[in-house]
Chain A
Amino acid sequence: MSDVSRDTMLLTTPFHSRVEAMCDLNDWGNWMGYTTPNAYFDIELEYFAVRSTTGVFDLSPMNKYRVTGPDAQRYLDRLITRDVGKIGVDRVGYAIWCDDNGQVMDDGTIFRLGEQDYRICSYQRADDWLAWNTLGFDVTIENESEAVAGLAVQGPTSCTVLTLLGCTDLNQLKPFGIAHYSFEGRPLMVSRTGFTGDLGYEVWVPPESAEALWDQLFELGRDYLIKPIGSHALELARIEAGFLQANVDFMPAEEVVRVGRTRSPFELGLGWLVDFKKPLFNGRSALLKEQEKGSRYRFAMLDVEGNKPAEHSFILKGDKQVGTVTSAAWCPTAKANVAYAQIEMPHGAVGDELVAEIYYQRELHWTRLLAPCKVIDAPIFKSPKRWQTPAPPH
């Protein structure tokens, strides 16, 4: 035991010294084995930094895999459900990947860095699955999770702050585009991507540049009200913006033990990411069958009456329980009570009127609330800034 010190139990990110210094609440969580702040000073103020000025989120614990070699594109086309060929060089694509049963293993982003040079950025560790997928393909997979540090810089003033940092003409970068710069003699890559639904970027540097990047960002961003944000604030932003979270809104198929707990892309509202024009990809034959036979569940975004978040609620149709909530939040900007739910077919079509059975507690007193809710067709928060090029001035 003597060799094992307590601080080896969780890993720290390359930004840790700076993150720790700013984490006034000292409120830490375990994100896939890394110690990361749940909140720095106030969840809602952090959230409003993303919506009104700039919020900075340390996303270094994300898993990054470099895929190179003559078959890199063919390899990815078999791995993920969408057409990789449609992602141009210096572009990013959102993607999901399935097992042979057509059940979602994870979602993530595919960065195309060259003709046959890609980076997969995923929530789950995927070393094993990516390695098995190389059978029959001339590709090399390198886990570069620790070789790349990343910050999400999100919010209306983010473009201005990053431009001050030296990212010239960043406002010309289109959504899902990638731009390359240098920072203190080392490469710095910016992608116009994020998890907040607002104008925002993700900045990728070697770990050696991490602390200096953080220092300069906060120095240059002071006048633009830059703030660090923790995972709770990000959670609020992503629910408002309509993003799914692995392990929350679906169980990664490889981690599921019980029969029937996995979900297909169609059951998560991600059918648009499945391209049957591709001759082969993992899960294709199972998904074709599902398309023919029908899915078991439907993903529904619910607009819930009242202001009590429908966390962990049952969803009822009349007296019958037809679903459960996976994510829920009162969304401060949209001023709406949003919930994501898994609804049994055939319920949950857009416009369907359901009831959320909400339980909440005030001073040890539990209350049951039957809140009417309605299935909506799009995320409740839609910022035009997210899609505008050039990026709008604040």
Chain B
Amino acid sequence: MTDYDAIIIGAGHNGLICASYLAKAGKSVLVLDARGEPGGCASTREFAPGHHVSDCAQWLSQFDQSIVKDLDLKAAGLKLGKPKATISLQSDGDHLVIDGDTISGAGVDSADQAAYRDFKKMVRSFAKLMTTLYRSRPPKLVEQNWTDRLTLMKLGLSLKLLSREHLRDLMRIVMINIYDVMNEHFSHAALKSTIALDAVTGTNMGPRSPNTVYSYLHRATGEHLGQTGTTQVLGGMGAFGQSLATAAEKCGAKIQLGSSVTTIAKTDDRITGVTLDSGEQISAKLVISSADPSTTFRRLLGYHQMEAGMAKRVECYRSRSGTAKLHLALSGLPSFTGLSETQLTERLVITPPMDGMETALNPMKYRELSDLHIFDISIPTIEDPGLAPQGQHSLTAIVHYVPYAPDIGWEAGKPQLINQLISELEGYAPGIGALVTTSELVVPSDFEASHGMTGGSWHHGELSIDQALMMRPFPGSTQYATAVEGLYLCGAGAHPGGGLQGLPGRNAAKEILKRGAL
């Protein structure tokens, strides 16, 4: 007899979702997390007195709506803000506004507007195809069985349904880079770089890196997963985590916070449970980890507990991010040149033209600080004033091109980089620096420490074709099972990958139940 049917490591969104589905099916499930709050990367933190920010993920844009329904997250307290337009800030104040399929401002001509509609149509058809794959267990190509064959048949049918040109385009662009694809479609520099931004944030890539088209399409699946655009979660991301926890508990799962798993216990041939930092041992039929693959296999299981070929796969798994978060507590609402007060609540982005984006990658590659960054900004306190003291505001920004470990070290590097980032913001919001009462920069290594993501990677491992689908996280440990009997993955390191999307957790639970592993 084991203590539980399943132990889930990590109360992040995927862990909680997996737990909910398993508990709904009548299984006894214990979710363990080292942090004191549920939600993992869906977290809110008070970084300055009275200022609460979504300190890891800041937007919800691709969460699978079937999960919202299945787990009745609305009843569990999930409240979303209004869908945001994307405003790409230009130094002259004539900003580029992208709202759904329409673009305006910044002198975009009708040719580019039409090209944008065509591009969106194409992306939508590709993303639809990917969504089919994302909602199911990734099919293996060699040892086919009926489930996998069915998925491949569906995929084949979807490919067949693509128009001839789209099919040709998909085959052609999926392995190339976003830089070339942008230049093929558009002439407007800011339009190109604004789209390219979505291909590189959260990665350690620049627009000319391979796999950036794949990473862009990965984001584009959001539209098909039922999410209507980019939104902020009211109450901060932590409220989203909390709603998932409430739903999981309602389904019957037990959540134990502040309990750090130190080791995954294994006998000769299978997993037996986990050991906590308190020394407590808990047994279960299965251990399902929503921690990233490097953490799960290297730190919690240990290389000496696995066969060498697998250890090699884990060691070679790429998990690095060049993306940080900037948090500013502001004494008042900042003003951005050319933006009305109501527009400040939208998603504001700042990006150099694509060549600049590529140049900005270089210092990051060589462990130096860049003097050019990409910003993806939210001022959540406009729509949700409760997140800051009355009259005050917070600004949070996803900032790309931040090295993992700069040669000068973070003690000297952080103040220098914060000044640099604020001065870059000053170019668009003159006087913003004077409003800053507290500033905080959360670099990739901080995310690694606070949220357990190896390399600070949101995706729990680089999103690239060789680490995707039936190869995610690596051959030999796919379809949510691993090469170690009784150990499963349900986090972003499993198919279909990262972002607040929920599918790894949902798919893992379904696969485990289908296999009769419990």
Chain B positions within 8 Å of A79 at CB level: 308
Whether B307 pairs with A280 at a CB distance below 8 angstroms is yes
Chain A positions within 8 Å of B483 at CB level: 100, 285
Whether B268 pairs with A132 at a CB distance below 8 angstroms is no
* 0/1 string, A211-228, CB within 8 A of B gives 1: 000000000000000000
The A63-116 residues at the B interface (CB cut-off 8 A) are 71, 74, 78-79, 99-101
* 0/1 string, B264-283, CB within 8 A of A gives 1: 00011100000000000000
Whether A132 pairs with B269 at a CB distance below 8 angstroms is no
Can you list 12 pairs linking A and B with CB atoms under 8 Å apart?
A: A78-B304, A99-B309, A129-B308, A132-B311, A135-B308, A135-B312, A135-B315, A280-B305, A282-B309, A283-B307, A285-B269, A285-B307
User: Which residue of B308, B315, B485 contacts A78 across the interface (Cβ within 8 Å)?
Assistant: B308
Q: How large is the interface on A (under 10, 10 to 19, 20 to 34, 35 or more residues)?
A: 20 to 34
Chain A positions within 8 Å of B269 at CB level: 279, 284-285, 288
User: Which residue of A74, A137, A282 contacts B307 across the interface (Cβ within 8 Å)?
Assistant: A282
User: Which residue of A74, A136, A280 contacts B268 across the interface (Cβ within 8 Å)?
Assistant: A280
Q: Is A133 an interface residue (CB 8 A)?
A: yes
- A78, A136, A283: which has the most chain B beta carbons within 10 Å? A136
* 0/1 string, B305-322, CB within 8 A of A gives 1: 111111110010000000
The B474-488 residues at the A interface (CB cut-off 8 A) are 476, 483, 485
Instruction: List 11 other contacts, CB 8 Å, given A135-B312, A280-B268.
Output: A79-B308, A99-B309, A100-B307, A100-B310, A132-B312, A132-B315, A136-B303, A136-B304, A137-B303, A279-B269, A284-B307
Least CB separation from B267: chain A residue: A279
Q: Is B302 an interface residue (CB 8 A)?
A: yes
Chain B positions within 8 Å of A285 at CB level: 269, 307, 483, 485
Alpha-carbon gap, A129 to B267, bound state (A): 25
Chain B positions within 8 Å of A282 at CB level: 307-309
Chain B positions within 8 Å of A281 at CB level: 307
Chain A positions within 8 Å of B305 at CB level: 136, 280
Chain B positions within 8 Å of A71 at CB level: 304
Q: Using a CB–CB distance below 8 Å, which chain B residues touch chain A?
A: 267-269, 302-312, 315, 476, 483, 485
Task: Give min CB distance, B56 to chain A, whole Å.
Answer: 30
Known: A100-B307, A282-B308. A136 touches B267 (CB 8 A): no
Least CB separation from A286: chain B residue: B307
Chain B positions within 8 Å of A74 at CB level: 304
* 0/1 string, A114-151, CB within 8 A of B gives 1: 00000000000000010011011100000000000000
* 0/1 string, A271-283, CB within 8 A of B gives 1: 0000000011111
Chain A positions within 8 Å of B311 at CB level: 132-133, 135-136
Chain A positions within 8 Å of B304 at CB level: 71, 74, 78, 136-137, 280
Alpha-carbon gap, A285 to B476, bound state (A): 12
Whether B307 pairs with A135 at a CB distance below 8 angstroms is no
Chain B positions within 8 Å of A136 at CB level: 302-305, 311
Chain B positions within 8 Å of A284 at CB level: 269, 307
Chain A positions within 8 Å of B476 at CB level: 100
Chain A positions within 8 Å of B310 at CB level: 100
Chain A positions within 8 Å of B267 at CB level: 279
Chain B positions within 8 Å of A100 at CB level: 307-310, 476, 483
Alpha-carbon gap, A283 to B476, bound state (A): 13
Whether A279 pairs with B268 at a CB distance below 8 angstroms is yes
Alpha-carbon gap, A78 to B309, bound state (A): 11
Chain A positions within 8 Å of B307 at CB level: 78, 100, 280-285
Alpha-carbon gap, A165 to B352, bound state (A): 79
Task: Give min CB distance, B473 to chain A, whole Å.
Answer: 15
Task: Give min CB distance, A23 to chain B, whole Å.
Answer: 41
Alpha-carbon gap, A4 to B304, bound state (A): 45
Alpha-carbon gap, A135 to B308, bound state (A): 8
* 0/1 string, A284-299, CB within 8 A of B gives 1: 1100100000000000
Chain A positions within 8 Å of B303 at CB level: 135-137
Alpha-carbon gap, A129 to B312, bound state (A): 9
